[in-house]
Chains A and B, each alone.
Chain A
Amino acid sequence: MSRLITIVALLGAGLPAPVGPFALGCEAGAQSASTQDTWQKEFDAICCKTQDAMSFSEEELGLLISGCDALQPRMDKLDETRKKVYAGRLHSCRGVYQYALDWKRTANEQNLSNGQSTPAQDAGQKELDAICAKTQIARTLSVEELASLISRCDALQPQIEKLDETPKKLYEGRLRTCRNVYASMLDAKQAEKN
């Protein structure tokens, strides 16, 4: 409740609320080259957290959507170019918050989980993420490190086969893709040595 009050007060003042797990809004990081008018500050404050839309509660999302709706009629004060640009951006931003809100309501009605999974699946996924996070730097890894990642992939394979059909389908493909990346990089490095 206090979080909501903080948010309302800060958004109402047209200032961004502090970053952190207990507040919406963020720093006005958009130090745009063009004039920072009040409207744009409010837009930045409301629309800078679309990537966290799924983690907000229904009340918080409702608040953000109301904030977007309040900005809409005030767009007439903007020049023609900004009106065109921000019409689209506001539409996208509001759309994502509305989408997240609808998703949560549907999930609550149908008792769908927002990614609930079994402990085995969670452990498998953690290990998969840990192994496969290094594909971007595969080139910089040594032959030993690549070989070790490949063995971890191979060790994970039987665990994934024990999962339910849908997660098994998903993770098998991802594991194979990332193993192939490491294996082809290892082959290339070994060929270079010879």
Chain B
Amino acid sequence: MNRNAFAVLASVLICCSSSSSQTGTKSKRPLPYEYGRVVISNYSENAGLAPVVFDHWIHRAKFTCRVCHVDIGFAMKAGGTGIRAVDNERGFYCGACHDGKRVVEGKVVFQACSESVETADAKRCVRCHSLGKEVASDYDFFAFSKPLPKGRFGNGIDWEKAEMLGLIKPAAFLEGVSTGPNAFPVQKDFALDPKVEGMPDIIFSHKKHTAWNGCEVCHPDIFGVKRGSTQYTMADNSQGKYCGACHKTVAFPLTDCQRCHSKPVQE
């Protein structure tokens, strides 16, 4: 090999060794009330407001994933929707519920964004535009989560069991927003071969997923048609693709192995 080629090869090797792939390190576990937190800062700072902090835990107890991510149309990535104050004022996105009129569980939902803002409204603005601020919330996480079944990771709540037991009843239909009745026929459950020797098979439950997501959240954007045609690995999931689209930051995280790799289980 001549010297020039060797120099190029050496520089490539050194460059590769400093690559910033996302695997190989462990991130800290977010606190139970921080898990599922989304910070949205498309336009807030330009408008002189702190970025918005959205907590999934309080919303997912009241609504299915589908209502927000399909009917209302929120993106599945922070900042991906491009919500503006005028959108909210027109009754879309956050404004679909946060309009100062809609009643949820007997309470009027506070209005998000308004055309004219007075000093007295500042308290209302910081309920969402709260990054870096100490803002009292109507809902206390500890009181909220105490009666719910415990989960290993994430919010420390077993959401699936909570819904099965009827302790939470997430609404699947939003008046004035959802387009039709939402009784989803259940597709069959199926098993996935993990391809790693010794790992239990993954049992995928359509029933458990459609209860929260309907069809559109996953199909066809995340999972294609032909079972077996969508080849993916845990490395892909860890990067937020496929199962990781939800099971990285909002649904139970990927560290809860046995929730998916559940058969056979060695007792």
B is bound to A = yes
Cβ-defined contact, B263 with A169, below 8 A: yes
Of B70, B91, B216, B224, chain A has the most CB atoms within 10 Å of the CB of: B216
Asked whether, in the complex, the Cβ of A139 is within 8 Å of the Cβ of B263, the reply is no
**Is residue B203 within 8 Å, beta carbon to beta carbon, of the partner chain?**
yes
Q: In the complex the two chains form, what is the Cα distance from A52 to B186 in whole Å?
A: 10
What bracket does the count of chain B residues touching chain A fall in? Answer: 35 or more
Query: Is A31 a contact partner of B164 (Cβ separation < 8 A)?
Result: no
Report which of B71, B203, B215, B225 forms a contact with A169, defined as CB distance below 8 A.
B203
Q: Which of B15-23, B188-196, B249-257 contacts A (4 or more CB under 8 A)?
A: B188-196
Select the stretch in B57-65, B109-117, B127-135, B175-183 that faces chain A.
B175-183
A157 within 8 A of B: no
Query: Which residue, B84, B183, B220, B263, has most C-beta atoms of chain A within 10 A?
Result: B220
Residues in A whose Cβ lies below 8 Å from that of B87: 81, 84-85
- Asked if residues A29 and B92 are in contact (CB atoms below 8 Å), the reply is no
Q: Which chain A positions have C-beta within 8 A of B190? A: 166, 170
**CB proximity to B under 8 Å, residues A60-119:** 79, 81-82, 84-86, 88-89, 92-93, 95-96, 98-99, 102-103, 106, 115
Among A43, A81, A136, point to the contact of B92 (Cβ < 8 A): A81
- Is A58's beta carbon under 8 Å from chain B? no
Q: Which of A81, A95, A169 contacts B90 (CB 8 A)?
A: A81
| A96/B220 in contact, CB under 8 A | yes
**A34 CB–B CB distance under 8 Å:** yes
Q: How far is the CA of A100 from the CA of B87 in the complex (A)?
A: 32
User: B185 at interface (Cβ–Cβ under 8 A)?
Assistant: yes
Q: Could you tell me the distance between the alpha carbons of A122 and B38 in the complex, rounded to whole angstroms?
A: 43
Chain A residues within 8 Å of B205, by CB: 174
Q: Which of A48, A55, A169 contacts B179 (CB 8 A)?
A: A48
Smallest CB gap from A79: residue in B: B90
Residues of chain B in range 82-133 having any CB-CB distance to chain A below 8 Å:
82, 84, 86-87, 90-93, 99
Across the two chains, which residue of chain A brings its CB closest to B99?
A: A33
Cβ contacts under 8 Å, A82 to chain B: 90, 92
Whether, in the assembled complex, A143 has its beta carbon less than 8 Å from a beta carbon of chain B, the answer is no
Given contacts A89-B70, A93-B216, A96-B220, contact A34 B165 (CB under 8 A): no
Question: Any chain B CB within 8 A of the CB of A53?
Answer: yes
Q: Which range contains the number of A residues in contact with the other chain? A: 35 or more
Do A137 and B92 touch across chains, with their CB atoms under 8 A apart? no
Rounded to whole Å, the gap between the CB of A31 and the closest CB of chain B is: 6
Knowing A50-B215, A84-B82, A173-B203, say if A115 contacts B188 (CB, 8 Å).
Answer: yes
Tell whether A47 is near chain B: CB-to-CB under 8 Å: yes
Q: Are B164 and A85 in contact (CB under 8 A)?
A: no
Q: B-facing mask of A32-56, CB < 8 A → 1, else 0?
A: 1110000000011001111111110
A 124-138 to B, binary, CB cutoff 8 A, 1 in contact else 0: 000000000001111
Contact status B165-A135, CB under 8 Å = yes
Chain B residues lying within 8 Å of A9, measured Cβ to Cβ, are: none
A10 interface residue, CB < 8 Å from B?
no
B30 beta carbon closer than 8 Å to chain A: no
Supplied contacts A85-B73, A99-B225, 8 more A-B pairs, CB within 8 Å: A29-B179, A29-B181, A82-B92, A85-B93, A89-B71, A92-B221, A96-B215, A173-B263
Q: Footprint of A on B, CB under 8 Å?
A: 70-73, 75, 82, 84, 86-87, 90-93, 99, 161, 163-166, 175-185, 187-191, 201, 203, 205, 214-216, 219-221, 224-226, 262-264
Tell me the A residues contacting B by CB distance below 8 Å: 26, 29-34, 43-44, 47-55, 79, 81-82, 84-86, 88-89, 92-93, 95-96, 98-99, 102-103, 106, 115, 135-139, 166, 169-170, 172-174, 181
A-B contact pairs, 7 of them (CB 8 A): A30-B177, A43-B179, A85-B93, A103-B225, A115-B188, A138-B165, A169-B201
